[in-house]
Amino acid sequence: MDLIPQLQRAILAQFLPPPSQTFLTTLTTARSPPPPIPSLLATAKARLLASDLTNTSSAIIDPSAPVFPANIDAATVKETNLAQNTHVQVIDIENLSLSRWEQVEELEAIERGERTRGRQVIRVVAPEDGDNEADASSTAQQTQASRPAAAAITTGGANAVHRLVLQDRQGKRVFAVELRRINGIGIGKTHIGEKILLKAGAVVARGTVLLTPETCTLLGGKIDAWHETWMEGRLARLKESVGADRPR
Amino acid sequence: MRVLCVAEKPSISKAVAGHLSGGSFATHNTRNKYIKNYSFDFDFGQQWGSSSVTMTCVTGHLTNVEFTNEYKNWSHPPPESLFTAPIVKNDKKDIAKNIADQAKYARLLVIWTDCDREGEHIGQEIVDAAKVGNAAIQVKRARFSNVERAHVLTAARRLIELDEKQVNAVSARIELDLRIGYAFTRFITNNLKHLGGPLAELVLSYGSCQFPTLGFVVDRYFRVKNFVPEPFWGISLTHNKDGKQVRFSWARNRLFDRMTAVLLYERCLDAKKAKVTKVQEKPTRKFKPLPLTTVELQKAATRLLRMSGQQAMTIAEGLYNKGFISYPRTETDRFDKGMNLRALVQKQTTDQRWGPFAQGLVNGGFQQPREGRHDDKAHPPIHPIAHVAPSVLSHDEGRLYEYVTRRFLACCSEDAKGMATDIELQLGDEYFSTRGVIVLERNYLDVYVYENWNNSTELPKFTVGEQFEPTEAMMTEGKTSPPNYLTEADLIALMDANGIGTDATMAEHIQKIQDREYVATITRGNDTAGGAGGGDDEEEANGAPAARGGGRGRGRGGRGRGGGASARGGRASGLKVFVPTQLGVALILGFDRMSFEMSLGKPFLRKEMELQMKAICEGSTTRRAVLEQSIAQYKQVFLQSQEQVGVLKQACREFVFGQRPGA
């Protein structure tokens, strides 16, 4: 049966996290006769990108896949390079170019159902209200473009600098900073649980991975539960980090 | 044949009579001491020909609407009945009678009210009054935007029709303002009166523009008060070359994380040599201003001339009535191609101050003004009509006239031109850049003294690929500072962007919320206050609402002093800013916290109404439909407010009486 190596090659060709043999076997034997390679690949991809890399019980990820070196987060090491291609998942993301308070104000405005465009205050209508009201026509057009969830996306601008917290298969967490702007990275754009391939040679300085488009491939994906919790807690975390949660 | 002409106000009536008659007219008194009837002969051309004319006027709106006597009591019938209560119209009897009497003998009525929505409505009021005296009278309207002689004569010979749609829009607005204003004012006053203290005797007025305007002030107040300063870090590079020092700024500008900044800084230091990646020299320009609109005039007057928006409008109207400037209520920021702007420039060549500049334009420097995107199709941008010597104007009139004229000449001049040099360099992985500007031609800046453009420090020569070790690479540290309280110019800009009020009424709403003691003005201190940190903010924040009586007093005093010293000395400091009073905060938060769809403190409801008015003017909806919809909408809000009136009371207890929630 050469279906397994064939599928494995297809998965690796897409730079996806390396699958375990168990996972490949389960996939290829779940149905008989097995579905064609493209649909197997699609299933595998969806599962891999939605999985938690650190979850050993589900055994989706190849247990021999490369992980971070033990001292990767050592601030004493001025500069080192990753020796191997390493798959990681996003645990947190921050925009370091915006003050936290600025982000707090924006999130609070969105909570109130407002959004500002220049000096203009725009009312953001929740989609379900907008549809069944006859007189909502003037605001309905804006509904599509700026419903609260979408409104939380800040593309970040050409010079924005984001810092991510990345986690490897063994649960090791490390900071990563955009040394060069990577367009796929942004608050609301980058999902929690998204998978990233850090290529061999990527620079790690003072315990922080320096991201550039050449050394960092965004694979997509998301762990729904994590992402939701992260979104819900974002305002509180921002407030906490500026000390605005404490009474002054 | 006899013709009756009616203007919106006495000054226009007199000016138009003067022009049409060629200066010789007979003056008759009327029962109203401000209103004269002028009689003379004039040839209207077209089918009218030579006519015997009586020119008179009204004093703004001729009628006002009110509720019938059964609704005079504030609590019975209950305020919500005002949404549907019958409305009666009253007119200014003596003026209306004068028009009716004069109409008896006339075959044609010519309306000379200002060409805007309100003017159109006043025109209809005049028509109604005239038809009392002569039901068969024919009606025409003169379209004019200034009272310069040739313009007035042209308008008189090209009469048009009254625009019924605009009349309907205004009458819808008047009815809505009456119903909504009265209902909510009574509701708020009745309910809060019981809390006693300072609220026992106050009329707490509500206006659909006032409240959103107050909302902006309250919103900014809390943004300042709640602000949390945060540290940030950056990298600054300086290099000395050819005896010149250049400072390069970091492409990342600043980072709100020290660790990351240090990390990147260390890598810069390690890289040692910077490499020049780009040297670009290209022409640059500073754009001349756009033609002047009402909103821009008010912003400039508050910012540059230290007048209030309302003062500026009153002065501008005076200048218009005297024929010195064009109609000051306009949204248009583009001049019609057909207008003879050179002739207007020519008139300014005799001035002591800008005459030579105007002469330069006449001699070939003239350039067509830039075109903005707004056109109200009624009035051109504000511009000077005639040259006036400063001696015949009051101090403030003179300053406003000067602004309008300098702005106009600037529009007809050329952009300022310069040469910009952009230099970019790379140090390790980090990018830095600097820009040098040399001003080559000042052009419009020579007359437009309100703006400036200076050479930057001169840059040494760099070439692409050049490598050097920077003299200094420094890590910098800073702290974010809170936004400023709103200036009047800020507030006007916010109202404009959010459709609160028309350009002509914004200043009145701003005055209104001060008169009602919902907001007070304080004088913004020196710039040092901004950097002083949390302690200072706290103090100001607590001080403002407490100083309700005092704050206002200070504001007034400040204005008086500013006038005396003609505001020349303290241009940088002493800017008036708005802060809400405790009462203002309580009203806005009271409604905000009621948590229904659209708070009265937000601009959304009013904006919708303003859009509906426009729609009536464009013919896409009708007065009746708008009235039904808006009344239903506000009534809904009213009923919800009634249900949750406890929230409003609680906000007052908290902010006006200083009781903690739950106490």
Domain of B461, CATH number, reads 2.70.20.10
**B506-515 vs B488-497: helix crossing angle, rounded to 10:** 120
Question: Which range has the worst mean pLDDT, A44-53, B576-585, B595-604?
Answer: B595-604
Q: Which of A118, A161, A242 sits opposite B255 (nearest CB)?
A: A161
B157 and B45 within one domain: yes
Element (H, E) at B342: helix B341-346
Give residue-wise pLDDT tens across range B208-262: 999 999 999 999 999 999 999 999 999 999 999 999 999 999 999 999 999 999 9
The rounded mean pLDDT for chain B is 88
Contacts of B251 in chain A (CB under 8 A): 159
Element (H, E) at A38: helix A37-50
Closest of B526, B513, B533, B633 to residue B570, by C-alpha: B526
pLDDT (average), residues B630-638: 92
Contacts of A104 in chain B (CB under 8 A): 228
The rounded mean pLDDT for chain A is 84
**Closest chain B residue to A121, measured at CA:** B498
**Structural tokens at position B440:** 């080559």
Closest of A133, A134, A151 to residue A142, by C-alpha: A151
B530 and B437 within one domain: no
**Closest chain B residue to A123, measured at CA:** B604
**C-alpha to C-alpha distance for B262 and B234, rounded to whole angstroms:** 9
pLDDT (average), residues B349-356: 96
Closest of A159, A169, A20, A50 to residue A97, by C-alpha: A159
Tell me the residues of B at the A interface, defined by beta carbons under 8 Å apart: 223, 226-228, 230, 232, 251-257, 259-260, 263, 266-267, 429, 480, 493-494, 496-498, 534, 538, 598, 602-604, 608, 611, 629, 633
CB B582 within 8 A of CB B651: no
**Domain CATH number, residue B75:** 3.40.50.140
| Total tally of structural domains belonging to chain B | 4
Contacts of A244 in chain B (CB under 8 A): 226, 228
Residue with tokens 């749609």: B165
Closest of B143, B63, B154 to residue B327, by C-alpha: B143
Contacts of A120 in chain B (CB under 8 A): 497-498
**Strand partners of residue B36:** B29
pLDDT (average), residues B300-325: 93
Contacts of A105 in chain B (CB under 8 A): 223
Residue B283, SS3 per DSSP: strand
**C-alpha to C-alpha distance for B535 and B541, rounded to whole angstroms:** 10
- For residue A84, pLDDT beyond 50: yes
**Interface mutation vs chain B, best among A93, A97, A100, A175, most B CBs within 10 Å:** A97
Residue B572: exposure state from Cβ atoms within 10 A (0-12, 13-18, ≥19): exposed
Q: What pLDDT shows up at residue B502?
A: 79
Phi, psi dihedrals of residue B279, rounded to the nearest 5°: -130, 115
**C-alpha to C-alpha distance for B336 and B342, rounded to whole angstroms:** 13
In a domain, B316, yes or no: yes
- For residue B283, pLDDT beyond 70: yes
Mark yes or no for CB contact B498/A119 under 8 Å. yes
B221 and B236 within one domain: no
Q: Which of A99, A180, A205 sits opposite B230 (nearest CB)?
A: A99
**Domain CATH number, residue B529:** 1.10.460.10
Task: Output A59 or B131, whichever has higher pLDDT.
Answer: B131
Please report, rounded to a whole number, the percentage of residues in chain B having pLDDT higher than 90: 75
B87 and B187 within one domain: no
**C-alpha to C-alpha distance for B485 and B520, rounded to whole angstroms:** 11
The two beta strands, A120-123 and A114-117, are: antiparallel
**Structural tokens at position B243:** 């005896």
Please report, rounded to a whole number, the percentage of residues in chain B having pLDDT higher than 70: 91
Band of the pLDDT at A244, cuts 50, 70, 90? Answer: low
- For residue B649, pLDDT beyond 80: yes
In a domain, B238, yes or no: yes
Contacts of B598 in chain A (CB under 8 A): 123
**Interface mutation vs chain A, best among B235, B260, B593, B614, most A CBs within 10 Å:** B260
- For residue B568, pLDDT beyond 70: no
Give residue-wise pLDDT tens across range A148-192: 333 444 555 778 999 999 999 999 999 999 999 999 999 989 999
Q: What pLDDT shows up at residue A243?
A: 81
Question: Which range has the worst mean pLDDT, A23-32, B93-102, B396-405, B474-483?
Answer: A23-32
In a domain, B112, yes or no: yes
Number of H-type helices and E-type strands within chain B: 21, 18
**Interface mutation vs chain B, best among A92, A96, A206, most B CBs within 10 Å:** A96
Expressed as residue numbers, the domain containing B244 is: 231-284+421-479
**Domain CATH number, residue B372:** 1.10.290.10
**Structural tokens at position A25:** 């076997």
Give residue-wise pLDDT tens across range A108-125: 888 887 777 777 777 665
**Interface mutation vs chain A, best among B224, B227, B232, B263, most A CBs within 10 Å:** B263
In a domain, B661, yes or no: no
Residue with tokens 């490897």: A168
Mark yes or no for CB contact A243/B611 under 8 Å. no
Residue B374, SS3 per DSSP: coil
Contacts of A243 in chain B (CB under 8 A): 228
In one-letter notation, the amino acid at residue B325 is I
pLDDT (average), residues B399-419: 97
Give residue-wise pLDDT tens across range B541-558: 333 333 323 333 333 333
Min Cα distance A102 → chain B (Å) is 9
Q: What pLDDT shows up at residue B658?
A: 82
B54 and B142 within one domain: yes
Q: What pLDDT shows up at residue B661?
A: 61
Contacts of A248 in chain B (CB under 8 A): 534, 538
Size of interface A-B (CB pairs under 8 A): 72
Band of the pLDDT at B499, cuts 50, 70, 90? Answer: confident
Give residue-wise pLDDT tens across range B333-344: 999 888 899 999
pTM, two decimals, is 0.83
In a domain, B251, yes or no: yes
Tell me the residues of A at the B interface, defined by beta carbons under 8 Å apart: 78, 94, 96-101, 104-105, 114, 118-121, 123, 135, 138, 159, 161, 163, 177, 179-180, 205-206, 208, 210, 242-244, 248
Q: What pLDDT shows up at residue B594?
A: 87
Mark yes or no for CB contact B256/A105 under 8 Å. no
B644 and B498 within one domain: yes
Task: Output B50 or A150, whichever has higher pLDDT.
Answer: B50
- For residue B528, pLDDT beyond 50: no
In a domain, B416, yes or no: no
In a domain, B222, yes or no: yes
Q: What pLDDT shows up at residue A15?
A: 93
B646 and B623 within one domain: yes
Angle at B512 between CA B523 and CA B169, to 5 degrees: 135
Mark yes or no for CB contact A97/B255 under 8 Å. yes
Question: Which of B411, B440, B455 is the last residue before a domain boundary?
Answer: B411
Q: Which of B232, B496, B498 sits opposite A121 (nearest CB)?
A: B498
Active site residue B327: yes
Q: What pLDDT shows up at residue A30?
A: 83
B471 and B494 within one domain: no
Question: Which of B162, B180, B213 is the last residue before a domain boundary?
Answer: B162
Mark yes or no for CB contact A101/B227 under 8 Å. yes
B185 and B127 within one domain: no
Q: What pLDDT shows up at residue B663?
A: 45
**C-alpha to C-alpha distance for B184 and B557, rounded to whole angstroms:** 33
In a domain, B662, yes or no: no
Q: How far is CA B333 from the centre of its chain?
A: 14
B184 and B249 within one domain: no
Question: Which of B372, B391, B411 is the last residue before a domain boundary?
Answer: B411
B279 and B248 within one domain: yes
B150 and B217 within one domain: no
Q: What pLDDT shows up at residue B147?
A: 82
